[in-house]
């Protein structure tokens, strides 16, 4: 019985504290910055720029087409960030010495199909004090349909 309890405690510790350390902060910083740049690729472009594509001369078909491309990027970014967060825990600017990272935007622009998994991850990371209160609230606000904060 004592061995069973010991085995359970060991497995629990691996689950709770199993994040790997980030070996190359510079490489991780470049990867995450590339993800953020992609996140803004079409959002800040000619068609979707401004008030989210509503104040320009583009047709609805053009706007919808560009949004479709952006959503593909958002899905790839979301899946990548979910994987990285599961592996390393929340990757903050301070943790990898990567100023103005704003990686929280990836989850803020995620699609509904990812919401349950994201909520579970951010709750765990917030409770572990790796995700600060402000970014936790911003992401959670998105997952809740963006009610006024």
List of residues 6+ apart from 85 with CB closer than 8 A: 91, 121, 125
Give dist(CA 103, CA 28) in Å, integer: 12
Per-residue pLDDT of the chain (149 residues; tens, 9 = 90+): 555 554 554 554 444 445 678 888 899 999 999 999 999 999 988 888 765 545 678 899 999 999 999 999 999 999 999 999 999 999 998 899 999 899 999 999 999 999 999 999 999 999 999 999 999 999 999 999 988 87
Q: If DSSP codes are grouped into helix, strand and coil, which group holds residue 35? A: helix
The reported pLDDT for the residue numbered 88 is: 95
């Amino acid at each position: 019985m004592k061995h069973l309890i010991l085995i359970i405690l060991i497995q629990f510790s691996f689950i709770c504290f199993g994040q790997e350390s980030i070996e190359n902060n510079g490489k991780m910083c470049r990867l995450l910055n590339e993800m953020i740049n992609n996140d803004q690729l079409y959002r800040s472009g000619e068609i979707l720029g401004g008030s989210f594509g509503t104040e320009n001369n583009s047709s609805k078909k053009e706007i919808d087409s560009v949004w479709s491309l952006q959503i593909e990027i958002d899905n790839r970014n979301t899946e990548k960030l979910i994987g990285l967060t599961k592996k390393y825990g929340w990757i903050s600017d301070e943790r990898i010495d990567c100023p103005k990272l704003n990686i929280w935007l990836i989850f803020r622009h995620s699609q509904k199909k990812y919401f349950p998994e994201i909520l579970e991850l951010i709750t765990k990371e917030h409770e572990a004090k790796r995700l600060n209160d402000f970014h936790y609230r911003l992401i959670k606000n998105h997952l809740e349909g963006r009610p006024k904060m």
